[in-house]
Structure formats: C-alpha cells, structure tokens
Structure 1
Amino acid sequence: MSEQSRLARMWDSDVMWSFRHSPVAIVAAVVALAIILAAALAPWIAPHDPFNPASLNLMDGFSRPMQPNDFTGNVYIMGTDNQGRDILSTILYGARISLFVGFSAVIFAMVLGIGLGLIAGFRGGWVDNLLMRIADVQLSFPSILIALLIFGVARGFIPPAMRDQMAIWVLIVSIGLSDWVQFARVVRGATMVEKNKEYIQAARVIGVHPARIAVTHILPNVMGPVLVIATIGLALAIIAEATLSFLGVGVPPTQPSLGTLIRVGQGYLFSGEWWILLFPALALLALSLSVNLLGDWLRDALNPRLR
C-alpha cells in the first residue's frame, strides 16, 4: 500500500470524519497546536530572553501593556513584571517548562500504569488484589496531596546543592506517581476482557510466552481508552504542575513555569499591576482547556456506541 493511499484511508477514517465535523475539536486543536509550537520555538520567536540577567533593565519594570515605559520609552505587548521581564517572553518560556513537565509526567504515569494494569489483569490472583488495593488506597486521597507528599519526601533525599537541578525531574515523578492509577485500572479491566477471547486462548495453546501475548496481542487492543486518558491526563498534569509551582514547591525561580508566573503576578494584583497575573493565567487556561476539549472529543470519537 502506497503512502498516499494510507493517508487517504486515514483521512476517511471514522476518527478523522468526527474531527472534521466537530468545530470545538478543530478550534481546540488549533489553539493547543499554536501554544505548543510557540513554546517549542520560544528561543527564536520570543522578543527577549527573560531569564538572561544581562538583557534585563529594572527601569522597564511594571511597564503597562502596549504603552511606552515612563523611563525608557520601550513598548511591550503584554507589559513587564517587577524585574522588567517581558511578560510575553516569560509566557513562551514558561509554557515550555509546563508542557515538558506535563508530557513527561503523563508518559511516566502511562508506562507505569499500563505495565501494572497488564500484570494485574493478565496474572490475576493475589497480584491483582495487591495492586488494586494499592490503587484503591491512592484514589481515596486527592492526587495533588499525593504529589505534594512524594515531592517533599523525594526532596528530603536530595542534597541541598542539587535540589534546584533535580526539581523538575522530582516534579515529573511526583505527578506521574499520583496519576498512574487511572491507566492501571482501565488497562486491567480491558485486559481481563481480552485475555478470555479465542485469539488469546489460541496463542496460549501454541506456546506463545505470556509476556509476548500481553505486549503484542492484548496491549494494542486496549490502547484506545489509554489514549483518551492520556490526553485528558495531560491537561490535568499541566494544572497539577501549575498548582505545585503556585504553592512554591514546583520548579525553581530560575526556571519559572506558568504556575510560578501566576504566583508572582498574584502578589501584585491588588496594587494595580493586573497584567502580570492575567496573561499567564489566560495562557494556562487556554492550554489546559484546549487539551481537555481534545480529550473529550477523542473519548466520544473512539466510543463505538456514539457512532
């Protein structure tokens, strides 16, 4: 089959038909793609490097959006913060960190959850009971509290000199460990259904190794719900990272994410510098909402009962 025919079949698939006929999904995809591309290309398209002290001018501090600064005369589209950093540039660079943490945490949670879900559903017995009881206990607590606990415990084992360097990775592990349960439960349920089907029984009869059955036969058939959870989980992971950074336990101040920028702007909200908080908050809202809407569309598109 040629590459052109494959693209034609993909374009005519049920999922793409649903996407083409969903204005909400199209708008959400455009917004999410625009933010992701802008964040990825931040070093080339950002007007300034906000984290280079040599490029900062304190006289530009608290510049209003689209108005010349009283001292320097410089004009910034979204204004500047207390240190003279361009808000637009800080949003572009901050979104890079938020997206990196979000994607990495979801991938970590997905790999861990899929692996444990396959083991629990395929093996059954005491292994299944143990893993699901652990999942039930974790579900009884809010995920943000679990992430806070894991983050605090992990930082306790890291030498103080390395805490800022390891902060992002600790944050990724904390969010990932707090979100693996959803993947594990969905994969476990789908695995328990698939393992009793005839093609799995036939593979067992001819002597295929159980690990190969789980990876090559069962896993591809349970990836539909996993992709939906991963898409929605990305939005939740970005919000979780912003929440932790807003609370002051996320990324270091030298590498601020959208949550850190919101925390900084919150301190100046009631003194009249509203733009320091507003624009990072709008960027976080647009990013998380668009990804969440894409997850909702993907869930409906992959649901055969809604076709």
Structure 2
Amino acid sequence: MADTKPQRRVFFRIWDSDVAASFRRSPVAIVSGVVALVIVLAALLAPWIAPTNPYDPSSLNLMDGFTPPMEPNAFTGNTYLMGTDNQGRDVFSTILYGARISLFVGVSAVLLAMALGISAGLVAGYRGGWVDAVLMRVADVQLSFPSILIALLIFGVARGIIPPTQREAMAIWVLIVAIGLSDWVQFARVVRGATMVEKGKEYVQAARVIGVSPLRILIRHILPNVMGPVLVIATISVALAIIAEATLSFLGVGVPPTQPSLGTLIRIGQQFLFSGEWWILLFPALTLLALALSVNMLGDWLRDALNPRLR
C-alpha cells in the first residue's frame, strides 16, 4: 500500500498557505470559485448531463420549436427546463455544449498569449538594447488598437488564406490564434519589467559568473520569479478571452453555426427577442455573464492574495 503521508503533508501545506487562507476568508472568492467550478464541470460533463445532444439532427423535432421554459409543448407535450429554440433544440443542452467551446477557445487563446508574451518579455527584459526596443515598439503599436479589431483582422486574413473547404473545420483554431495574438502584449510588458528587476539581483549575477547559459538562467532562475503577476493576468485574461470569443461569434465571424458557442447562441436568440421568445437569448447571456464575472472576480482575488503589500 502506497504511503499517503507525503501526499497528506503536501495537502496540509497547501491548506495552511497564505493564499488558501485568503481564499477561505473571502466570501466573494468562495462564491466566484463555486460558480466557475459548477459551470466548468457542467460543460465538461455535457454529454452525460445534457438531456439531448443538440447537434444530433436525429434527436431534434421541429414541432418542439419555441417551447417556453417549463411549459408543455402544444403539439408534442414535451417540457423543457429552459425552453427550446427555433430548431426545437433544448436550450439547456445547447448552453452546456456551447460553454465547452467557449471555455476551450478562451483557455487555449490565453495559453497561446502567455507563451508568446512570456517569451517576448523574457528576451526583451534580459537582452535589452535593440531587441528590447523592437519588441516593445511592436507592443506599443498593437496597444494603440482595440484588441477586438486586431482579432477581426487576424481572423479575416486567416480565413482568406485557408481554402474554403477547410474554413469551417479550422474556424475554432483560427479564432484561438486571433484572440491569442491580440492579447500577448500585456504578458510581455509585465514579464519584461519583472525580468529587468530580477536580472540585476545577486543570484543571476552568480549564475553568469559560473558560466550558466542565458537560456538556462531565463528558464530555471528568472521565469519562476516572474510567474506571480503572470498568473493573475492569465486568470483575468480567460474571462476577457471568453468575452472576445462571444463578441466575434455574435458578429458572425467566430465559431460556425454547426458548433455554436455561447456567443453564437446569443446571436441566434437576439433574432427572436422582440418576437416574444426571450428565453433563447436570456439563458445563454446569463451563463456567459456568470462565467466571465466569476472568473474575473477570482482574478481580482488572486491579485490581492499574491500582493505582499496587502497581507
């Protein structure tokens, strides 16, 4: 039988840490964490939780279209928790499957932005000189434009390069690249500033003296010491990336209709809002609001918890 004492020591060390104690003392962080966890788990378990598969045409019945929430359909007698849309799809099921796509796009885009921004920030902060000047001027130029416009530009260029037969299959990956390339600047600037501070400290100077390579110094010594603010930015950026995906999908340039995300569902619901079918728009919009707000509040709490001046 495996010894569980090391695992127990790690658990109690984490439980007794300052960050965990700060989380337990913050009702906002607890509520936000619970809401985000519920939505994420519901999205991951959508194939087992959703009453129907909204993307399986054989499970749809057009006679169930526009069924209000918790009211039996006049033709079929079926009742749905959050009603149905114009195609007879269960809104609750579409939200679960749509949240999976929104979360996948948001998290993947932030990971791409982190990889680009951390790499650029480390190189610019450590090398300095013309390398730093070029990278930061590129960052300054990108900051002068709204990120959503940059994402639209990248998405449009990529759609023009990809053959028409592959556009729908590549739409999600193009969306991830577009959002990731539009959000790397904030990571680069924060990491650059922290790297410039760390490279002047004694442990970096000692590593240089003994002949440690610059790449090893960046990865083994400087990178772990600049990850605190990066994690805070990443948490907040996930919420912003999810909203960016929803915005692009709402504008009709994001996820294809065959794989609708929360933004696509909101765009579809907006078409029927003024005809009385309010639930098609309301429930996806509330889900997006709850997800983005809870992740954003977790980012705010993490920023305060990792700030030694606020302890």
Which of 219, 243, 253 is the aligned partner of 2:247? Answer: 243
Alignment of 1:88-127 (within 5 A): 88-127=92-131
1:183 paired to 2:183: no
Which residue is 1:305 aligned to? Answer: 309
Which of 26, 42, 50 is the aligned partner of 1:22? Answer: 26
Which residue is 1:281 aligned to? Answer: 285
Which residue is 2:80 aligned to? Answer: 76
C-alpha distance after superposition, 1:126-173 (max 9, x if no partner): 000000000000000000000000000011000000000000000000
Q: Which AA in structure 2 matches 1:92?
A: L
| 3-state SS in 1 of match to 2:117 | helix
CA drift of 1:206 comes to 0.2
Alignment of 1:178-257 (within 5 A): 178-257=182-261
Task: For 1:94 and 1:174, locate their aligned partners in 2 and report how far apart those are by CA, in whole Å.
Answer: 19
| 3-state SS in 1 of match to 2:282 | helix
CA drift of 1:10 comes to 0.9
CA drift of 1:104 comes to 0.3
Task: For 1:135 and 1:56, locate their aligned partners in 2 and report how far apart those are by CA, in whole Å.
Answer: 48
Task: For 1:51 and 1:2, locate their aligned partners in 2 and report how far apart those are by CA, in whole Å.
Answer: 46
C-alpha distance after superposition, 1:232-264 (max 9, x if no partner): 000000000000000000010000000000000
Which residue is 1:49 aligned to? Answer: 53
Task: For 1:217 and 1:224, locate their aligned partners in 2 and report how far apart those are by CA, in whole Å.
Answer: 14
CA drift of 1:39 comes to 0.2
Task: For 2:8 and 2:210, locate their aligned partners in 1 and report how far apart those are by CA, in whole Å.
Answer: 38
Which residue is 1:141 aligned to? Answer: 145
Alignment of 1:2-21 (within 5 A): 2-21=6-25
Percent identical: 80
Q: Which AA in structure 2 matches 1:226?
A: V
Q: Which AA in structure 1 matches 2:139?
A: A
Task: For 2:40 and 2:10, locate their aligned partners in 1 and report how far apart those are by CA, in whole Å.
Answer: 27
Task: For 1:297 and 1:98, locate their aligned partners in 2 and report how far apart those are by CA, in whole Å.
Answer: 23
RMSD: 0.6
User: Structure 1 stretches (4+) deviating beyond 4 angstroms?
Assistant: none
| 3-state SS in 2 of match to 1:2 | helix
Q: Which AA in structure 1 matches 2:88?
A: G
Q: Which AA in structure 2 matches 1:24?
A: V
Task: For 2:74 and 2:10, locate their aligned partners in 1 and report how far apart those are by CA, in whole Å.
Answer: 59
| 3-state SS in 1 of match to 2:168 | helix
CA drift of 1:190 comes to 0.2
Task: For 2:11 and 2:80, locate their aligned partners in 1 and report how far apart those are by CA, in whole Å.
Answer: 43
Task: For 1:273 and 1:258, locate their aligned partners in 2 and report how far apart those are by CA, in whole Å.
Answer: 17
CA drift of 1:99 comes to 0.2
CA drift of 1:288 comes to 0.3
1:163 paired to 2:142: no
CA drift of 1:2 comes to 1.8
| 3-state SS in 2 of match to 1:26 | helix
Which residue is 2:37 aligned to? Answer: 33
CA drift of 1:3 comes to 1.9
The total of aligned residue pairs comes to 307
Q: Which AA in structure 2 matches 1:300?
A: D
| TM-score, reference length from structure 2 | 0.98
Task: For 2:92 and 2:11, locate their aligned partners in 1 and report how far apart those are by CA, in whole Å.
Answer: 37
CA drift of 1:4 comes to 1.2
Task: For 1:154 and 1:127, locate their aligned partners in 2 and report how far apart those are by CA, in whole Å.
Answer: 28
